[in-house]
Amino acid sequence: MGDKVRIFDTTLRDGEQSPGASMNAEEKLRVARQLARLGVDIIEAGFAFSSPGDFESVKRIAHEVEGPVVCSLARAREEDINAAWEALKGAPRVRIHTFISTSDIHLKYQFRLTRKEALKRAVEMVGLAKSYTDDVEFSPMDASRTQIEYLYEVIGAVIGAGAATVNIPDTVGYALPRQFGELIKGIKENVPGIGRAVISVHCHNDLGLAVANSLSAVINGARQVECTINGIGERAGNCSLEEIVMILKTRKDILMMETGIVTEHLYPSSRLVSAITGMVVQPNKAIVGDNAFAHESGIHQDGLLKEKTTYEIMRPESVGISKSKLILGKHSGRHAFKARLKELGYELGEDDLIRAFDRFKRLADAKKEVFDEDIEAVVQDEILRIEVHEGYKLMGLDVRSGTDVRPRAAVTMEVRGQAVKEEGEGDGPVDAVYKTIARITGTKSVLLRYSVNAITGGTDAQGEVTVRLEEDGHIVLGQGAHPDIIVASARAYINALNRLEYKKKEKRERLV
């Protein structure tokens, strides 16, 4: 067993301060219940004094969500602390978290208080909060820019007044990891009575160091980390809950610390917060981003197929993601392609695999990502062509069309081993292509049906065309797929013509 690090989640308070991320009471309650399932130790449910909505949210979460301690933030002002208590009282596990700035820049320009006045107010308001509950937390705001001896004095005084947790905020994300770690170490070594309180940290991400600073603090003695789902929060956000938790879990061999987080709920929690706030998680976000367990490089995919630990230091299942993703694209290798085919139920011979892989690579050059539906279309197209002993093949296609141009197509085909080229016009680009192909092949078939479907989303989606042809009592289906819908249309038509030829051949053989 390692040392326990408490996880203080402030998604519903600091996280909600992200522009555009405000939540109503019902949405906050949904997130709070998910945080309880996640196993956070403390939920900072809001700032009860700030608005009737926040008051109601704090009250409902405190009384309706079981498990975590529920906390309300309060400035070091009597009316704030009274409002916090009114929202929390009667609930089973509650905390009041009060704060005042201690840096000279804040005291001079924002609060217009002397150090002595700020110290006096901090002690008095912690005492007031203590009269309501034994679980009181105090934060000296902008601690990382506070004169160190004064910071020690404030922390010692509020512990004497009853603070059970002292939180050290890097309010503007100014600290560097070594500096912040030394700050925590200095507090442990120099503040009288520090052993009676839990040291907490609340780091902002203005320089991208919130997680690094929080980790450095934990290494140097902090035992509570204030963080948010997806790292959302004021300005550049806060320490990311999922990142600090998985650092402690993944590197427990070195850090010898643990949390009570049920990590399998990290991904569902991330998706819930993203859906409610509308703040999309960036694809390359650690732990919960879409690409966190996705691999496209052929070298990485090959290693992963042989042994997952070659390129994954965490199991995707451990954070609530069902499995790793092998993203098939232009960098993918044949091993990954073959593995995906097997997952989709296809086991091709070596020659067929080589041909299908070549088609896949050409498709991957045209698309950013190749989806399962694309692969199935490629394989089915290859299999269908093999089954019907293809006599017609599309070699080249050039189509001209526009508002002031009559559609015209130039088609080059291989017909029973011979290259044939024809040009023709039509009412539209597809009509021009089909009439030209019909002239090349000499078919008298009737087009009964023509349909187009986008196999995948996006403007680079591969289109799948299906046609139904009839000739001499034979009705056949033809399919073709390609990012260029005109090419897909030509392939579908030629595929159907090949099927017709196969059926005609079968009929002739039966008559002999």
pLDDT by residue (tens digit) across 183-201? 999 999 999 999 999 999 9
pLDDT given for residue 386 in this prediction: 46
> What is the DSSP secondary structure assignment for residue 367, as one 8-state letter?
S
pLDDT given for residue 331 in this prediction: 74
366 with 487, same domain?
no
356 with 306, same domain?
yes
DSSP for 312-337, written as a single string:
-SS-GGGGT--S-EE-BSTT--HHHH
Confidence of residue 76 (pLDDT cuts 50, 70, 90): very high
Amino acid found at 460: D
Number of folded domains that form the chain: 3
Q: Which of 122-150 are b and which e, b meaning 16 or more Cβ less than 10 Å from the residue's Cβ?
A: bbebbbbbbebbebbbbbbbbbbbbeeeb
The CATH number assigned to the domain holding 431 equals: 3.30.160.270
31 with 150, same domain?
yes
Residue 405, number of CB atoms within 10 A of its CB: 8
DSSP-derived 3-state class of residue 344: coil
124 with 143, same domain?
yes
Beta bridge partners of 185: none
Q: Which residue bears the tokens 């109601």?
A: 56
CA 58 vs CA 32, 51, 269, 274: distances in Å:
10, 11, 19, 21
In this predicted structure, the answer to whether residue 239 has a pLDDT above a threshold of 80 is: yes
pLDDT per position as a tens digit, 22-67:
888 899 999 999 999 999 999 999 999 999 999 999 999 999 999 9
287 part of a folded domain? no
The mean pLDDT of the chain is: 89
| Spatial CB neighbours of 77, under 8 Å, sequence gap ≥ 6 | 125
Between CA 453 and CA 461 the distance in angstroms is 10
Please measure the distance between the N-terminal and C-terminal CA atoms of the chain and give it in whole angstroms. Answer: 83
283 part of a folded domain? no
173 with 301, same domain?
no
pLDDT given for residue 352 in this prediction: 79
| Spatial CB neighbours of 457, under 8 Å, sequence gap ≥ 6 | none
285 part of a folded domain? no
148 part of a folded domain? yes
Residue 14, Cβ density class (10 Å: 0-12 exposed, 13-18 middle, ≥19 buried): buried
pLDDT per position as a tens digit, 115-158:
999 999 999 999 999 999 999 999 999 999 999 999 999 999 99
In this predicted structure, the answer to whether residue 387 has a pLDDT above a threshold of 60 is: no
- Report the interhelical angle of 485-511 vs 429-441 (nearest 10°): 30
Domain around 434:
391-511
337 with 424, same domain?
no
Domain boundary among 277, 311, 329: 277
70 with 175, same domain?
yes
In this predicted structure, the answer to whether residue 368 has a pLDDT above a threshold of 90 is: no
Domain boundary among 342, 364, 384: 384
